[in-house]
Chains A and B, each alone.
Chain A
Amino acid sequence: MYLSLSDIQQALKQVPNSKLQGYRIAVLRNITVESIIPYLQYYAFKSGFEANVSVGNYDNILQDCHGSLGADNKPIFTSDTDCILIYFKLENFSWSLARDFLSLSPEQLESELERVLDYVEQTLQAIRKQSSAIVLWHGLEIPIYKSLGILEEQLPDSQTSTLKRLEVQMKDIFSRLTNMFYVDLTDCITQIGINSFYDNRFWYFSAAPYSLEALNVIAKNDFKYINALKGKNKKCLVLDCDNTLWGGIIGEDGIDGIKLSKHGPGGGFYDFQQELVSLHHRGVVLTLCSKNNEEDVWEVFDMHPEMLLKREHIAAYEINWEDKAGNIKNISKSLKLGLDSFVFIDDSPFETNMVREFLPQVEVILVDSKQSFDYRQVIGSTGYFDSLQYSDTDRQRTKMYQAESGRRKLQKRFDCIDEFLEKLEMEVTVKFAEEKSIQRIAQLTQRTNQFNLTTKRYSEADIKKFVDNDACDVLCLSLKDKHGDAGIVGAVILHFSGDTAEIDTFLLSCRVIGRGIEKAFLSCVVEAARLRKVEIVQGEYLPTSKNQQVSDFYSRCGFDEKLRLNIMDNGVDAPPYFRSVIFD
């Protein structure tokens, strides 16, 4: 993912929800790094800050710490400065250490190393006399082109070995100081590769070593520190279940059908779960938010042999058929943790968009279940949960929150879900089944467990018989929304006898549950019944262990206690937020 400067401009133009807190950054440097400013502003903005960046004089780090004035005739930093970033490139401080190592005598080497350490100490002391700002010192880059080539790693006094020792000594200085950190640039270099990291074109005439891509990862990395120190790091991870924790849908595929295994299919999910368990041990609060029957989910947790996540890792959960934005809000209330410390991860664009819309404070990650092999990287690369402390409290955190959460279930929901659904621009088309839709309809009857009123399984031949039978109608529903075409996601089979249309089958794919599509579908079923001039539509509900959520479907739609609807006097209205509901 490459962030361009015009992307940043666009992002910074957005009006924030609340007034941003100012954040003063001073950059001290012995190289040209001005191009990092927009990246710093961008990551500050993402953390809720409005960055004010002042850049020190070129190659004047120590002088700037002793009060040199900047271009605007003001000191580079003051006691009000929040953060001081030091970009110190060894080449520009000690050419011999960085580039002419082999010509150094042992005495010269000793004195150069001493000079570096002295400079670091003096700089840090000078800063602390005036400011308690966070200090990030960007560390030595171990030379790419090594003086002795492959022999370097083997010799204890080679350039590489010497600089690595120097680095340890520098880190030692920082470990004794508060809020001052040695930032190892190796992580940033590794992330994008050395060839992308440097842009040598500007090195010779402007002393600017880094590419924009490098400045982006450096700024992002700096803000991991800043966020951790300012308490802006995330604390709670909300997990979807189906196609996030395991491959497939538990309510449809069953415990033996879902993909989750260390080796073979579902390996990405297994690995992802290992990452989650590590986050748990690190003190991240894990929670579940899933549209499922609760017992199905716990069955996987308790019974699946390769499930690494256990109930004891989960601090709170909302497993039901309500909207996820409301559910996440409930989790936040029950844990007494602010939504701005939440990260939500799901494979459904519908759910992630809804949460983005209603809970903009929550950081949202959309994963692609076809690329589950990348789940681990997705969560590992964010740095959302990075902290600069690690204690027993972190290890115990989930237990604490489990107690907090208890069994409290809040039921307050959003009122404006309709408005959100309207923005999805859903277009529903209901048609009589044709030759080409028979296969899909049969497949739906065989696979659908959750939104399935009767759970009758039919073969293609069975469906074809219904289609050819004059006393039957087979309807199929296709859905399109702004995210794309979902194809056929619902089916109904009607039997007509006398003045009655009996609903033999009514089902919806679990992918589209929770959007009121069933009501739109039922309104078309009533239309179809009217075409046959019948008076009564007769529903049927056959309970199974998977379909409790639809037990009251017909009564919610105005059917009487015998699940009958007299369509001479009554109808079913499609919800108002559909862009179109077409029956043809």
Chain B
Amino acid sequence: MDIQEKVIQVLVNVFQVSPSKISTKTTSDDVEKWDSMNHINMILVLEQEFGIRYDEEQVVSMLSVEEIIDVTKGMLGLQ
């Protein structure tokens, strides 16, 4: 699974939506359950999934799928 697929899979699980609802264009405004509480959960699950630890600035900025993928790729040294 590539990074994009993994990220989408995590969001599907955390926000309990169908995969068709999540694309690279999706932002926190588009997903009902993407509130501040679930945002933490999403961060924690992504961290476990990829074995990384985001810093505070990244945590606050990761409010769209595109941004999540960007930040994560950066952390993994893939950019």
Contacts and interface: CB of A to CB of B under 8 A. Distances in A.
Interface in B35-78: 36-37, 40-41, 44-45, 48-49, 54-56, 59-60
Interface string A1-44: 00011100100000000000000000000001011000000000
Contacts, number: 29
Given A201-B56, A201-B59, A5 B37 contact: no
A206 B36 contact: yes
Interface residues of A, number: 13
A205 interface: yes
Interface string B25-41: 00000000000110011
A69 interface: no
A411 B41 CA distance: 53
Contacts of A6: 45, 48-49
A5 B56 contact: no
Contacts of A208: 40
* Among A6, A32, A201: residue with most chain B CB under 10 A: A201
A5 B45 contact: yes
A95 interface: no
Given A9-B13, A201-B56, A201-B59, A206 B49 contact: no
Nearest to B44: A212
A contacts with B: majority SS: helix
Contacts of A5: 44-45, 48
B48 A34 contact: no
Contacts of B49: 6
Interface residues of B, number: 14
Given A5-B48, A6-B48, A206 B37 contact: yes
B48 A212 contact: yes
A202 interface: yes
A5 to B, nearest CB: 5
Nearest to B59: A201
A500 B54 CA distance: 76
A202 B40 contact: yes
Given A6-B49, A201-B59, A35 B44 contact: yes
A208 B56 CA distance: 14
Nearest to B47: A212
A7 to B, nearest CB: 9
Contacts of A34: 37, 41
A206 B48 contact: no
Contacts of A35: 40-41, 44
- 8 closest A-B pairs by beta carbon, nearest first, are A4-B48, A202-B40, A5-B45, A212-B44, A201-B56, A34-B37, A206-B40, A35-B41
29 contacts: A4-B48, A5-B44, A5-B45, A5-B48, A6-B45, A6-B48, A6-B49, A9-B13, A32-B37, A32-B40, A34-B37, A34-B41, A35-B40, A35-B41, A35-B44, A201-B54, A201-B55, A201-B56, A201-B59, A202-B40, A202-B59, A205-B36, A205-B60, A206-B36, A206-B37, A206-B40, A208-B40, A212-B44, A212-B48
